């Protein structure tokens, strides 16, 4: 396991280095922030002073050197617009996005895996066909439309839940959390459901396919022949063997939700990092966009590393094959 972890960490560091280079030079080639940040009526001296203050007067390779030096020290620059450290600005919005992502994934897991197993164990039953039809709807409808329908139903017509915003928060070790307050949890439910619908549909289909395949395997038939209870057969022999692809996809989808929850955050006015990214792109606030992308790369790398570790625990053959 130690050799497996070292190999995965080395690959993660290499990915981070390559992505740092691509992110920096990719953003350098897109637009000039000076055109948006400096008043056109400013004097030439004022324009030059601003350009120098932002560090944009230096050659690109020098800027890249400063970027790498800061990256090693955890400094991703200062926002051109907000005049705050870019990483600090993003981290201040990150708890809201993490709450949204994890609750959405949790809802998808709690409902998706049992429904998928039911559909896989009884594929011809009417309720199984209804479950699969629901998963098709979850796949097919656009995310923003789902969000608008949730608002119309639960906020406008029924008046049960608020339509947007984050609500009250409680600071825990300096981190504002909304799910710990009744008002904050009420604000969180609808956007989390909006995130969960597509993920739940995906999990249902994966679980259903895996259950249908595993239920026909010899070891499952042997477990039934030994007289094991249906609950033990399904809960131990079937569930464990269908979790490998589900865990892999869940890891990637969790990263996707954290990094790309822009639509949900916009529809529900949720103050996460997605909205900050859109605003920063519009203003060509390079440090914030770079910090966001680097944080996203780091999250994906770490999530993939965790998924690989879980994968190797669920299926030790992965470690054996990887070590050859």
Q: What is the pLDDT of residue 300?
A: 76
Q: What band does 320 get if pLDDT is binned at 50, 70 and 90?
A: very low
Mean pLDDT of 25-37: 67
CA 143 to chain centre: 15
Structure confidence at residue 286 as a pLDDT band (50, 70, 90): confident
- Cβ of 318: how many Cβ atoms within 10 Å? 16
CB-count burial class (<10 Å; 0-12, 13-18, 19+) for 64 = middle
Average per-residue pLDDT for the chain: 80
Higher pLDDT, 150 or 214: 150
Average confidence (pLDDT) over 31-49? 68
30, pLDDT greater than 70 = no
Kindly tell me if the per-residue pLDDT of 127 is higher than 80: yes
Write b or e for each residue in 144-177: b if 16 or more Cβ atoms lie within 10 A of its Cβ, otherwise e. eebbeebbeebbeeeeebbbbebbebeeeeeebb
- What pLDDT, on the 0 to 100 scale, is given for residue 252? 74
pLDDT of residue 311: 67
Q: Which of 32-36, 102-106, 177-181, 261-265 has the lowest mean pLDDT?
A: 32-36
Q: How confident is the model at residue 258 (pLDDT cuts 50, 70, 90)?
A: confident
DSSP string, 228-291: --HHHIIIIIIHHHHHHHHHHHHHHHHHHHHH--HHHHHHTT--SHHHHHHHHHHTT-HHHHHH
163 touches 148 (CB < 8 A): no
Taking residues 247-257, report their average pLDDT: 77
In terms of phi and psi (left: phi > 0; alpha: psi -120 to 50; beta: otherwise), the region of 31 is left
pLDDT given at position 89: 87
What is the structure's pLDDT at 42? 67
Q: How confident is the model at residue 296 (pLDDT cuts 50, 70, 90)?
A: confident
State residue 137 phi and psi, 5-degree precision. -60, -45
Task: Give the other-Cβ count within 10 Å of 25's Cβ.
Answer: 12
Return the pLDDT at 315: 62
Give pTM, 2 decimals: 0.74
Q: What is the pLDDT of residue 4?
A: 66
Round the CA-based radius of gyration of the chain to a whole number and report it: 24
Q: Which residues of 287-313 are buried (b: 16+ CB within 10 A; e: fewer)?
A: bbbbbbbbbbbebbbebbbebbbbbbe
Q: Cα separations (Å) of 73 from 66, 69, 78, 94, 188? A: 11, 7, 14, 20, 35
What is the CB neighbour count within 10 angstroms for residue 228?
A: 15
The average pLDDT across 128-137 equals 89
Q: Measured between alpha carbons, how far apart are the two ends of the chain, in Å?
A: 13
- Tell whether the model's pLDDT for residue 125 goes beyond 80: yes
Across 284-312, average pLDDT: 78
**Residues contacting residue 228 through CB under 8 Å, at least 6 positions apart:** 237
The rounded percent of the chain whose pLDDT value lies above 70 is 89
> Residue 33 corresponds to which tokens in the numbers above?
């922030």
| In the chain, alpha helices (H) | 2-28, 34-37, 44-54, 60-72, 86-121, 126-140, 143-150, 182-214, 218-225, 230-232, 239-259, 262-267, 273-282, 286-314, 317-322
């Amino acid at each position: 396991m130690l050799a497996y972890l070292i190999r995965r960490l080395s690959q993660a560091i290499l990915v981070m280095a390559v992505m740092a280079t691509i992110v920096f030079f990719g953003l350098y080639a897109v637009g000039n922030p000076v055109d948006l940040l400096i008043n056109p009526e400013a004097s030439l001296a004022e324009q030059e002073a601003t350009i120098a203050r932002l560090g944009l007067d230096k050659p690109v390779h020098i800027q890249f050197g400063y970027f790498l030096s800061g990256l090693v020290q955890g400094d991703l620059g200062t926002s051109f617009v907000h005049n705050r450290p870019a990483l600090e600005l993003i981290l201040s919005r990150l708890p809201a996005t993490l709450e949204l992502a994890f609750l959405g994934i949790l809802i998808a897991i709690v409902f998706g895996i049992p429904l998928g197993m039911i559909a896989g164990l009884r594929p011809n039953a009417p309720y199984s066909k209804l479950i699969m039809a629901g998963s098709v709807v979850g796949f097919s409808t656009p995310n923003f439309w789902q969000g608008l329908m949730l608002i119309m139903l639960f906020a406008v017509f029924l008046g049960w839940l608020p339509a947007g915003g984050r609500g009250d928060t409680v600071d825990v070790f300096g981190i504002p959390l909304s799910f710990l307050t009744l008002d904050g949890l009420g604000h969180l439910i609808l956007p989390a459901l909006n995130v969960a619908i597509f993920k739940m549909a995906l999990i249902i289909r994966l679980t259903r396919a895996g259950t249908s395949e595993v239920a026909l395997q010899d070891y499952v038939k042997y477990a039934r022949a030994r007289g094991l209870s249906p609950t033990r057969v399904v809960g131990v022999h079937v569930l464990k063997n269908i979790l490998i692809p589900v865990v892999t996809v869940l890891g990637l989808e969790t990263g996707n939700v954290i990094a790309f929850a822009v639509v949900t955050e916009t529809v529900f006015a949720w103050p996460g990092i997605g909205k900050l990214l859109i605003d920063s792109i519009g203003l060509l606030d390079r440090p914030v966009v770079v910090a966001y992308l680097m944080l996203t790369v780091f999250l994906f790398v770490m999530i993939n590393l965790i998924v690989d570790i879980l994968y190797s625990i669920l299926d030790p053959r992965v470690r054996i094959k990887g070590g050859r």
